[in-house]
Amino acid sequence: MIANIHIGWAHQFPTFTISLRKAAIWLLPNKWIENGDWISSGEIDIMETRGNKELIKPNGQNIGTPLLNTNLHWGANAQTNRYAQTHYETTIPEGFAQAYHKYQVEWTPDFIKFSLDDREIGKVTPPSGGFWELGNLEKTRLPNPWRGSSKMAPFDAEFYLILNLAVGGYFFPDQADNRSGKKPWSRTSPYRIGMTDFWRNRQQWIPTWNLGTDDSHLKVDYVRVWAI
C-alpha cells in the first residue's frame, strides 16, 4: 500500500526545504528520457525512513526510525544502478518520527547537496564527464543515454516532488527483527502474494500502529521551493 502526495511543481535546479515527521520524500522526472527507463531518467531520494522504532539487523544496527537514508538513483539501466556511489546515511537516537525535521536538497548545475536541519549530510559533484564518468559506465559497453546532455544528466530535467507513505515493499530486509514477531511477508514473494501475506498477518502489526493517535500519520509542516 502506498499513499503519494504529488506536488505540482516541475523545475530544473530548485532548492527544496520540507519539514515533516517520518515517511519518504522523492523527486521523480516529469518524463523518462527518450528510449530510457526509471534508472536512466534518474531519481532523487531526499529522505527515506522506516516506521519501526526498533528494526534490528543481525549485526545489531537499528535501521528503524533512528536511521535516515538519502541517495540518487542513476545508471544506464536498472542493472547498472550506481546509487551506492551517491548514498548517504545519518542517525539520531530518538528517531525521526518524534519531531519535525527539515529535509533539504540544493540542486544546481554543478552539484546536488543533501542536508538535515541545515547540516550537510552528502554532496554529489560529478566530473566533467558527468554521471557517466562518475559511475565508470563506459565499461558496461551500453549506449550512453545522456550523450549530448549536461554533466548533471539525468538530473538536468524537470522533476516532480513526491511525499510518500508506504507499507511493505522491498525496503525492509527479511533478516531484520522488529521485536514484535517475524516479518509478515517475504521480499522474494511475488508481489500480490506478499501483499496478501502482509494482510493475513495484520494482527501482528496493527497493534503497533497505535491507531487513533498521530503515531501512524504522515504529518507535513511545510514545503518550500526556491528556483535558482
Catalytic residue check, 138: no
Alpha-carbon distances, residue 206 vs 30, 132, 164, 173, 194 (angstroms): 36, 45, 20, 20, 17
pLDDT digits (tens, 9 = 90+) for 10-57: 555 666 667 766 567 888 888 776 657 889 999 999 999 998 888 999
Write down the pLDDT at residue 38. Answer: 87
pLDDT score of 4 more than 80: no
85 or 20, which is more confident? 85
pLDDT digits (tens, 9 = 90+) for 59-75: 999 999 999 999 999 99
Of the listed 34, 43, 94, 138, which one is catalytic? 43
pLDDT score of 2 more than 60: no
Enter the pTM of the model: 0.87
Distance in angstroms (rounded) separating the CA atoms of residues 32 and 7 = 18
pLDDT digits (tens, 9 = 90+) for 131-168: 999 999 999 999 999 999 999 999 999 888 888 888 77
pLDDT digits (tens, 9 = 90+) for 166-213: 877 788 888 888 877 778 888 888 888 988 998 999 888 888 888 888
If pLDDT is split at 50, 70 and 90, which confidence band does 8 have? very low
User: Could you tell me the residue ranges of all domains in the chain?
Assistant: 2-227
Catalytic residue check, 43: yes
> Which residues on neighbouring strands pair with residue 101, listed in sequence order?
20
Write down the pLDDT at residue 15. Answer: 66
Write down the pLDDT at residue 65. Answer: 92
Write down the pLDDT at residue 41. Answer: 94
Of the listed 48, 54, 89, 94, which one is catalytic? 48
By the 8 A CB rule, do 150 and 128 touch?
Answer: no
Sheet holding 2-11, edge to edge: 2-11, 159-166, 24-29, 43-48, 67-73, 87-91
pLDDT score of 5 more than 70: no
Domain 2-227 part of CATH 1.10.3470: no
pLDDT digits (tens, 9 = 90+) for 98-144: 899 999 999 999 999 999 999 999 999 999 999 999 999 999 999 99
